[in-house]
Structure 1
């Protein structure tokens, strides 16, 4: 199934009462206690017994980040074209999730109809912010992103995905998601896929979990939905190869009998292990593109006519036999009321957010204020009569001018000229049966301006949207200033890196290690086959692995013993294979072939230690920089507010 990674947030509800409280100041800038608590809660899901210690540790990190962001603002990084573009792109991308109006439903329904007409063959690269140990390491993720961006113009996208993507499945499927269609992926990812031209990859998208890049491999006319029956001969937990072979033989036997006319439903009732579909004679709910993995879908859509039974095929679940019942094509008629209503309901139930527009008008009146000023209705309408028909401006003696302010919403003024432009575009009734009355037109105009004001100033009306936009801007500023001040300097100053290596040379040591190649296999059976081949002819390991390129990834390097699969506390031996290490969740397996063992700890060369040296250099640069920032922006914590926060129960 497709991995769905989305931007997520934890809302702060009634954490602090009364007016905003300042937790600390830094160089005259106030840091709100509620904002700190919101960030702490979001990033510390499991709060231990030492809550005070945990909060204090996070406060130090929070202060450091605020100082860096404050400095980024001082340098004007928020005005950089790339930063402004990224922020505006996000605003456009997410604003529909926060604006509740019927027009959004119509627009999104039309968009879903257009997208439903084609299926897109998509691939995905995911670079996680957290490393394999679960520790946040955004520096490493950013460095890895630069490697990916450098590799993409030179290498095939799927090869880059297999090499770099942190999606575990990418090692075997190379990030290939197969075909997707409207509503298959989260909306933000769907946008990236459908807005990318065939053969191209998308821009980099930064979610709360990491970086994402999609490629549009190809497109086809949408296949629609299929109704099918299934016989599933599932693998029992921890089934050995003999059991699996027996299940395969049963599948082949059933297929042979089905080809001779045996009743499919009776075989479902007798043999199928799919406890959901077995209750309906094996009939599955209508299957859309992108619901199942590629192996299943390829076999499903290979059935070309109703009643056709496909050959048995294997997935991680077991052996499947499918029978096509019928296909429901996608409607290509936007006037098909039933289909458009189906899409409309899907939009409402999807992460495409919507509700009625009256809510918006009420919010603008209540929070911003709406005031009708300027010329009277009679004077305005008399002036408008001639202009709307492109005649000379108004009756003789009219004092109305185009620049006169007509409407004030909040601090934004709308003049007579804006009213005239609007009226020319919207004065006629939708059914073209005549002209709207001035009362109708005026009411619609005011509502339209209220909606525009709400949309353009959504940060003032929606705290969640404001927090999302501020968080995104702060994140971009943080990355920009860290790149300029720390990361680029640490990675490009070769002389300083070499000097630091020489100064701390005794610290950069190998633990007991081994030169080895680790094999990552998509299932245990493949791993056992490859292991047996290498055992017979070790020097041919590369040939054997290359022959299984779709199922095996080999990585040769020097590893410390704890990084080798399957050895536990044992001592590795040269010219030997390590035992299989099998992942029970997906049946993937790893093992290693040991070339040479280094039983003693020993020094790393500069090349071997460079990654560690860069990390140390970054720490030194950041430590010195933080000292400068704290002098420039002195930090003063309100101890009373801090103590109140520590005493509060976690939300």
Structure 2
């Protein structure tokens, strides 16, 4: 974590995403490496304001810092830091993160975000019947499942009860308890195709079969209402397991009623929850539950929670399938404005199936842009419309087969059968593949190659991306080589560190200090008694501070003692009594001190080791920069520099 934080600091220091007109004028040469004015301008624009003073750093002054940075990066590249496996893997991870926002169909993405927010305004209730079907099912099995779903739909449309048909036909295990009723829910709570079917249907409508990864669904929308937002509650739960005797059920209910009345009389709800609630996870927090909206809790609990009108209101005992509950409303919030909700919507979209919609839209646009062409006669999988099955070309099952036919082309790129065969081998895992699996892998292969090529073009299409990627690259190299040459070296080089301390001892001195104890007395009697005792002996033994505390603080605390070595500014009482500084809010009337001044002296190594390491790192850095400037040829184009603003 420390390493990551340090690296991020470097990237933030260097990063800049201002859009500017391209300018390829060369500002700087380090050996044969060219650095353009645009690259320098971007970083200078980001960092030219001194965060401490608010002043703008002059261009020529910042250029010297920039040269130092570039020299270190050049040295790292020369030493091969960018060729290590760890660097390549880490940089690849950052590259993919940076590329991700550019590999989106912005128009389609905006549409999906808007759709999600509009759906947030409604809560829907629906029932469904599931006909299970694997994603890789054979076409003949898919057709059979579809026809079965259509038969079920026709029965319902003719007047049979949805619930009774669901109980007799649905493959959803929960149907025996709910008759197919899913209750109320809202956007992101169901898989996207299922959600689409419901939000695009009217109340009372029975949909045609809807395909999801689970199979086919027949769905009936039973209600739609305005979204209620979210509520935060605390609860006390008394569990009543299935099979509990009526006597125990009665005892639980009586206890719940008793706790309800205690809470209503003003007893602390949080403390009651901690003592009595069987939900131990929430009991530790006084019964508090996370924020929730529709579809997140069992119906009885959800209804009781949303029926509470004001914060602090407590419900009467509520029975659910888990037992008895008393619920206290803590807070409630409505659906937030779009500007506040959009970040959370985007986060959910990125984890949701609907993100594939924007991606596929981008791929289709790129296919058109790149003049994508498929050789249909060479495709690995075809569909037999007579037998209703996918058919794999047998050549893919032969050893040493000639797989040199072209599958598809775009721009100057050509992909052959053998390229796809290698992709299959690398992505098949351990399972035996059916023709349908080959078809899915082929579609993924095409998509990957299109996006791979687009990603390779991002630097030329988007200057912001190009420079941000460059800054991450250089920032990583700077971190690695600085750690090796400066940070870790300064800590590990005990001999060099000790020598540096010995050579610079005069820089590590204590100012005048005072060592002793400060006695804070609460009243005059204690003050007088303590002043007569401190520093004295009892039966030949010096009276200690612990002795004083035991003697005076028998019933109540009338004496406090602070002992240590104090510099000026560290203790107001010491400042006042020892160095005659103006008092600042202290009541000196009942304060005593007992100790001695310590003259200025050199700090021992272990008293200033952290500071010595920091100074030693600065020293190593200065020496390193000096050697780099002597080692490498640096040329600055003054005419170009004068145009930097």
User: What is the TM-score with the length of structure 1 in the denominator?
Assistant: 0.45
Q: TM-score, normalised by structure 2?
A: 0.45
